[in-house]
Structure 1
Amino acid sequence: MKTTTNCNRRKFLKYAAIGIAGAVTYPSWTQAAGKFTRVNTPSDDFLPDVEIELTMNTADVAILNGEKTRVWKVTGKVITGDSNILDNNEGTYLAPTLRFKKGQKVRMILNNDLPAQSILHWHGLHVPANMDGNPMYAINRGETYIYEFEILNRAGTYFYHAHTHGVTARQVYSGLAGLLLVSDDQEHALHLPSGDHDVPLVIQDRSFDGQNQLVYSANMMQRMQGFLGDRILVNGRPDFVLPVATRAYRLRLVNGSNSRIYKLAWDDGTPMTVIGVDGGLLEKPEQQPYVMMAPGQRRELWVDFSGRAVGAELTLRSLQFDIDMHGGMMGRRGGMMGHGMMGHRRGMMGGMMSVSTLPSGSDYPILKIRVAKKEQGDNTLPKALTPITELQTKNAANAGKPKTIALSMAHMSALLNGRSYKMDDVQPDEIIPVNSLQLIEFDNGFDGGMHGMMMDMPHPMHLHGEQFQIVKREVSAHVTDNYATVSAGLIDSGWQDTVLVMPGEKVTILKPFNDFKGLFMYHCHNLEHEDMGMMRDFLIK
């Protein structure tokens, strides 16, 4: 396939002044239909099992009572393949839910009819570099980008979203994000709940003005903290209620928020039974009192409602966790922004940054489950799920010298190893041999790198390309009390593509870089941090 890199990729969005849904009034021409020009061409020797056309455009959807909300919406149609592989999620701002099988060859035709450049990234999929949605391939309004790739991933809950340099947060917030579900034979053999009993739940936060339009604040405090909305939406709906029957369900939880971290638990104290993470099913179910979910992460739950009476209700909540380390300045509890000037635990910085009526780390409801009917079903939870080959540190190409990536925020900058994002700026330590296993550690102040006027904040680190395994977590002594409010909900088993690195913590992972050469990004999945430059490229060669 011949692929053209956008010649304007070094610039900010061509139409940045126009803004996004809720920020401005759209001119009438944003809805204008037109012929799309392809910037790349399909491969003659690529024979797709599935071919889908996706179009990004503006739309008005009913989210709240009253006036409709202007959003950016992806809609799709199946050109080749079963029509059931695509659900447009009509009536919501969510992009289509796509369903594929491992081994299928997929061609995606992406049309841009938005008043801005954009491109879509297949979050968690192992695809070639020029199919991954790197910002360098962003297309203008009236242009088409063609993706071609084979589904190499195991069964799991994956995610796709806009990945446009400098404005990913705005575009995802406006609606450019959706689910991509993969199935395979191993999963099918387990006879897990399916059909209506297999329920994806995309959790997001949004703010609205008095006319029901999306409000997105880009002030510096919001950028440094990450945007926090005032309302929780599930599958694009507020006050979400899921009616269930008296049987077992598979709930696929997705944190689709820009920056909000959730500490999810059932309100009656029922343990959370986790069966899957970012990269698919675990080897065996795990029970936790709560589950932490950072932006971009996915967690799959097994929930059995067979013992509950019709009419019973259960609420999924996000519980309190210690906010001292989410927005504190100078990085130490006794420092200027800790217990000092303001005389309370959140400190001055915490107060300044609590710009949402739902502050980060507070307690609030996410959704309600209501048992609506009796129904018989197979409620047996398999003791074993899918086998996972454990990666070995001794097999890493750099086993004796881990690649360290220091995470820092200071002077209104978000940095990786002291560097901000630039295209075509790969440094020697960012060059990795193809078909190698790499030991990588993310240091968020564990080794004393956070000092002076730096900010202690959690960072969900996402690596494009093949999934990784978490080797270990190390926590600095000065944050152990705070860390204890989240540690039981960190699920480190299985295959991951996004890992939450808390302040004062160092997380070590093993990451394969197999099959594909080229540029693959790594970045914070707090999308405001990403847009501020907390993103870099690995060059695989």
Structure 2
Amino acid sequence: MKSYHRLIFLLGLLLIFGVAGCSSEETVTNVGKLEFEQALKIPELLEPTIESDGTKHFTLAMKPGTTEFLPGKETDTWGINGSYLGPTIRVSRGDKVSFDVANQLGETSTLHWHGMMLPPAMDGGPHQMIEDGETWSPHWTIDQPSATTWYHPHLHGKTAQHVYRGLAGMFIIDDEDSEKLPSNYGVDDIPLIVQDKLFTSDGQFSEDDDTPYGTLGDEILVNGTYDPFLEVTASQVRFRLLNGSNARAYNFGFTDGRSFQLVANDAGLLNEPVTLDRFMLSPGERAEIVVEFEPGEETVLRSYSGGAGIQSGEFDLLKVVAASELTESSPISEQLSSVPPIEVPEDAKVRQFKLTMENEINDKLMDMYRIDEVVPAGAKEIWEIHNFGPEHNFHIHDAAFRVLDINDKEPNDYERGRKDTVFVPAGAKVRLAVEFGNHTDLNYPLMYHCHLLKHEDEGMMGQFLLVEPGTESQVPTELPKDDTEHQHNEH
């Protein structure tokens, strides 16, 4: 029987990659088509109000609008405090923060803090729905190492649509370690939110998702800018790269072949910089790189084709032009993060997760009431992700992890730091050393899921509770269905 299932699996992969690999998608490119005429937009750095107890309070409003991406064409979009994307939030470890998140969209949504360690009730996942006209007011204390995190909707069944329309923004956490790197926002510390889009002839977003992965666009926006260029004025620039796309992966490099220093992954700084000339980010992943420039030189940040599926296509992303005079930057420290790598005890619990072609995890689709796993707060465990389907990736809420191995081999250099999202190739086994948050909650579950948003929406997601250690066996496996706090979003 196992041989039969294996044969069916292999035939399925051939079918999927035969379609994806032979389609025009593999050759989609914008190389040679751009003029690099639009100055890169830098998202506003949102200033908080300071409350009497020192809490930094931020106000966000999700609302519809229109945005001109293509010259002379207005696109219907959604944004946060604007018509497209949202402002950058920047805080420091130890800060107390609070938010008023107003929903002015005309329909229900949520706002999830991707990569944040926080109480589950403040997570902004499927259980913290914000009805139209209502305001959600989460609050917590920032208690994690410096990192480039982000925020986006997480409404079950509609996450892909809401993110694609423009609801996303960066959330930067600073600490003493991060001060060793360029940190002047918008000058030598530049956010780059990379997204692919399909446009209709009249300039509207097409939400066509007829690939196995969801929408794969043929045009690129960086910070909501089409055809962008950036003039840099410092000899070293820190780029914070976020793959904010629904499905496409990017293989980043520069057209002149220059190398650069990778200094951070999703969940924080590396212990020491790594010299690279290429690296890949799947949807939801982030990386920070420091690039050196000489006066007057130019280069283009490009995504190189990595094959079929979500890595198909080749795209110019951003032209970078160095000013004729550059401010001299301090050398990068050889010791970046003081946080030790995540290690698990010898007797660590091992959990196994099977990803399928049907967008299931462990042969189950997402159920808003079912609790799939119960995890002791603060635990360090090994999670094994077995992919029996096409390309996926895997994100865990309220956790950071270290990739132990991929198909029993060490991960790529760019995948070895603290992370919260990992690419899982077709047919691969990925093992993670996972460190969970310390906040317990018996009422609000956290999520683990594929961050290819079509897959997530179709049910490739599970739920876990963080509980007091030693109480795992006492926890019910379902949430009460008559609890109005846990509304089921039918789709």
In the TM superposition, what whole-angstrom CA distance separates every residue of 1:397-424 from its partner, at most 9, and x where no partner exists? 31xxx21101111xxx311111110111
- Correspondence for 2:63: 57
SS in 2 for 1:281: strand
In the TM superposition, what whole-angstrom CA distance separates every residue of 1:437-477 from its partner, at most 9, and x where no partner exists? 11101111xxxxx3xxxxx422120000021122222169x
User: Structure 2 stretches of 5 or more lacking a match?
Assistant: 1-50, 468-491
SS in 1 for 2:208: coil
In 2, the alpha carbon distance for the partners of 1:297 and 1:419 equals 25
In the TM superposition, what whole-angstrom CA distance separates every residue of 1:12-34 from its partner, at most 9, and x where no partner exists? xxxxxxxxxxxxxxxxxxxxxxx
- Correspondence for 2:205: 214
Matches within 5 A, 1:267-346: 267-306=255-294, 309-310=295-296, 312-323=297-308, 326=309
In 1, the alpha carbon distance for the partners of 2:200 and 2:347 equals 51
Native 8 Å contact 1:467 1:511 kept in 2: yes
Residue of 439, 464, 470 corresponding to 2:382? 439
- Correspondence for 2:476: none
Query: Aligned partner of 1:102: which letter?
Result: R
Q: Does the C-alpha gap of structure 1 residues 289 and 63 become closer, same or farther in structure 2, counting only changes over 3 Å?
A: same
Deviation at 1:321, TM superposition (A): 1.6
In the TM superposition, what whole-angstrom CA distance separates every residue of 1:244-297 from its partner, at most 9, and x where no partner exists? 135111111110000100111111211232011111211111012311101111
In 1, the alpha carbon distance for the partners of 2:174 and 2:398 equals 19
- Correspondence for 2:363: 418
Native 8 Å contact 1:414 1:534 kept in 2: yes
In 1, the alpha carbon distance for the partners of 2:54 and 2:326 equals 40
- Correspondence for 1:537: 463
Native 8 Å contact 2:300 2:317 kept in 1: yes
In 2, the alpha carbon distance for the partners of 1:490 and 1:533 equals 31
SS in 2 for 1:152: coil
- Correspondence for 2:152: 161
Q: Does the C-alpha gap of structure 1 residues 128 and 158 become closer, same or farther in structure 2, counting only changes over 3 Å?
A: same
Residue of 346, 351, 354 corresponding to 1:406? 354
Query: Aligned partner of 1:521: which letter?
Result: M
User: Structure 1 stretches of 5 or more lacking a match?
Assistant: 1-44, 76-89, 327-358, 445-449, 451-455, 477-486
- Correspondence for 1:230: 218
Query: Aligned partner of 1:268: which letter?
Result: D
SS in 1 for 2:433: strand
Matches within 5 A, 1:497-508: 497-508=420-431
Q: In the alignment, is residue 257 of structure 1 matched against residue 245 of structure 2? A: yes
In 1, the alpha carbon distance for the partners of 2:235 and 2:377 equals 46
Query: Aligned partner of 1:435: which letter?
Result: G
- Correspondence for 2:80: 74
Q: In the alignment, is residue 522 of structure 1 matched against residue 465 of structure 2? A: no
Deviation at 1:363, TM superposition (A): 2.2
SS in 1 for 2:400: coil
In the TM superposition, what whole-angstrom CA distance separates every residue of 1:378-410 from its partner, at most 9, and x where no partner exists? 241221111231333335531xxx21101111x
Residue of 387, 402, 407 corresponding to 1:474? 407
In the TM superposition, what whole-angstrom CA distance separates every residue of 1:453-511 from its partner, at most 9, and x where no partner exists? xxx422120000021122222169xxxxxxxxxx9866222210001111122111111
- Structure 1 runs, 4 residues or longer, greater than 4 Å off: 45-48, 487-490
Q: In the alignment, is residue 194 of structure 1 matched against residue 184 of structure 2? A: yes
Q: Does the C-alpha gap of structure 1 residues 228 and 505 become closer, same or farther in structure 2, counting only changes over 3 Å?
A: same
Deviation at 1:191, TM superposition (A): 4.9
Native 8 Å contact 1:395 1:437 kept in 2: no
- Correspondence for 2:472: none
Native 8 Å contact 1:98 1:180 kept in 2: yes
SS in 2 for 1:130: helix
- Correspondence for 2:481: none
Deviation at 1:68, TM superposition (A): 1.9
Query: Aligned partner of 1:192: which letter?
Result: P
Native 8 Å contact 2:379 2:436 kept in 1: yes
Q: Does the C-alpha gap of structure 1 residues 213 and 48 become closer, same or farther in structure 2, counting only changes over 3 Å?
A: farther
Native 8 Å contact 1:200 1:253 kept in 2: yes
SS in 1 for 2:352: strand
Query: Aligned partner of 1:267: which letter?
Result: T
When the two structures are superposed, what TM-score results if normalisation uses the length of structure 1?
0.73
SS in 2 for 1:126: coil
In 1, the alpha carbon distance for the partners of 2:188 and 2:221 equals 21
In 2, the alpha carbon distance for the partners of 1:489 and 1:206 equals 28
Residue of 314, 324, 333 corresponding to 1:363? 314
When the two structures are superposed, what TM-score results if normalisation uses the length of structure 2?
0.80
Deviation at 1:58, TM superposition (A): 0.8
SS in 2 for 1:138: coil
Identity, % of aligned pairs? 32
Query: Aligned partner of 2:399: which letter?
Result: E
In 2, the alpha carbon distance for the partners of 1:191 and 1:136 equals 37
Q: Does the C-alpha gap of structure 1 residues 139 and 247 become closer, same or farther in structure 2, counting only changes over 3 Å?
A: same
